[in-house]
Amino acid sequence: MINCQRGDYLFDLIIIGAGPAGLTSAIYALRSGLEVLLIEREIYGGKMNLTNEITNYPGHTKIAGIELSKQMFESVKSLGIKIEYDQVIRTRLNDDIKFVCTEQEEFSAVSVIIANGLKTKHLGCIGEKEFFGKGVSYCAICDGFFFKNKNVIIAGGGNTALEDAIYLSNICKKVNIIVRKNCFRAEEFLVDLIKSTENICVFFETEILEIKGDNKVNSVILENNCVQKEVEIDAVFIAIGQQPENEAFSEIKMDRFGYFDSDETCTTNIEGVFVAGDCRVKFLRQIVTATSDGATAASLAIKYLKKHKFVHSGTSVGVE
Ligand SMILES: Cc1cc2nc3c(=O)[nH]c(=O)nc-3n(C[C@H](O)[C@H](O)[C@H](O)COP(=O)(O)OP(=O)(O)OC[C@H]3O[C@@H](n4cnc5c(N)ncnc54)[C@H](O)[C@@H]3O)c2cc1C
């Protein structure tokens, strides 16, 4: 039985992250009558917002990522979600009552679901930070439109980089793909598409050393085979992958790459704390697997609350 008598407001469940995993958790938890707080640092929908067309989510032959985000959020909103737009920076999860600190406030709950996805990898070259939003972008679908008929670079050799290049080739004058290795790490049909697209050029074994400009990107310094050259360019799209961002949750066991060490049950080494979606060790990182995790994590959180005979009673809590 949980001893959680406190004057402060105590939620049944705090969900961190409003991507497909977090939003699905919210639907399940709210439908079972839990008092839920959803914390999101950017906009609801998570990585779905970066996808132009989603063609592999059941029920939709084709849907824009932004539209699917909106639809999922509408379901959550109609169930009366409380949402806080802020970044979670610290947590204390080991005790019966869990504390979640954002940049502005501290919140408490009996159970927590972490559905914080992954963070986009950075190149780490000179000028990348400085020109972010001024020609440096991590989202071709969001920002490609601003570079209509311009010359752009895509950094990366995986599926995302190639998909982005194909997308941009329909908007931009010329798309240069810069790949550090000597080959792509992408599906064959994408590689074939790249080869047959006239305004796409590929540079293997090439690195971006510096991004230059004044108040916006003007050029990059590239290095190939120890030879450096400056190339005029209007934008640099970076698509070199993603990595976990789980430092704020150091009490939870992780694998050596920093993913939460969990399985299909979404449970962790801490009772009452669950992880859902891309942030945990898993085979396939997609919307459908994130929503599946969200449902599992919420169902187990509900079970946890019931097991501990937790009963919500207004602004504080009661325990049977
Ligand atoms: C370019 C691209 C295209 C893709 N295309 C497809 C596709 O066509 N089909 C498909 O099925 N999948 C696709 N995916 C993968 C899919 O988008 C992800 O697998 C899915 O969004 C993961 O959901 P999630 O809820 O786990 O994480 P996310 O969608 O990443 O959501 C996590 C949320 O948590 C928030 N957050 C993170 N840290 C904090 C914090 N500390 N405090 C508060 N909030 C925080 C983030 O802002 C974000 O909103 C694509 C991914 C990318 C990058």
Calculate the average pLDDT of the chain.
93
Q: Regarding predicted confidence, which is higher, 315 or 75?
A: 75
Q: How many CB atoms lie within 10 A of CB 52?
A: 14
Q: 80 is written with which tokens?
A: 């009366």
pLDDT at position 141 is 78
Task: Say how many Å lie between the CA of residue 34 and the centre of ligand 1.
Answer: 24
pLDDT at position 248 is 96
Closest atom of ligand 1 to 43 CA is: 49
Helix runs in the chain, H state only: 20-31, 65-78, 140-143, 159-169, 188-195, 287-307
Q: What percent of the chain has pLDDT over 90?
A: 85
* Structural domains of the chain ordered from first start: 10-119+242-319 (3.50.50.60), 136-238 (3.50.50.60)
pLDDT in tens, 244-267: 999 999 999 999 999 999 999 999
Asked whether the beta carbons of 275 and 281 are under 8 A apart, the reply is no
Mutational pocket test of ligand 1: of 48, 49, 238, 242, the residue with most ligand atoms within 8 Å of the beta carbon? 48
pLDDT in tens, 178-198: 999 999 999 999 999 999 999
The percent of the chain in helix, strand and coil, each rounded to the nearest 5, is 25, 30, 40
Q: Which residues are catalytic?
A: 139, 142-143
Using CB distances shorter than 6 Å, the residues near ligand 1 are: 16-22, 39-42, 46-48, 50-51, 54, 56-57, 87-88, 115-118, 160, 245, 248, 277-278, 285-288, 290
Q: Whole-angstrom Cα distance, residue 26 to residue 298? A: 7
Mean pLDDT of 150-174: 96
Task: Say how many Å lie between the CA of residue 47 and the centre of ligand 1.
Answer: 3
Asked whether the beta carbons of 29 and 12 are under 8 A apart, the reply is yes
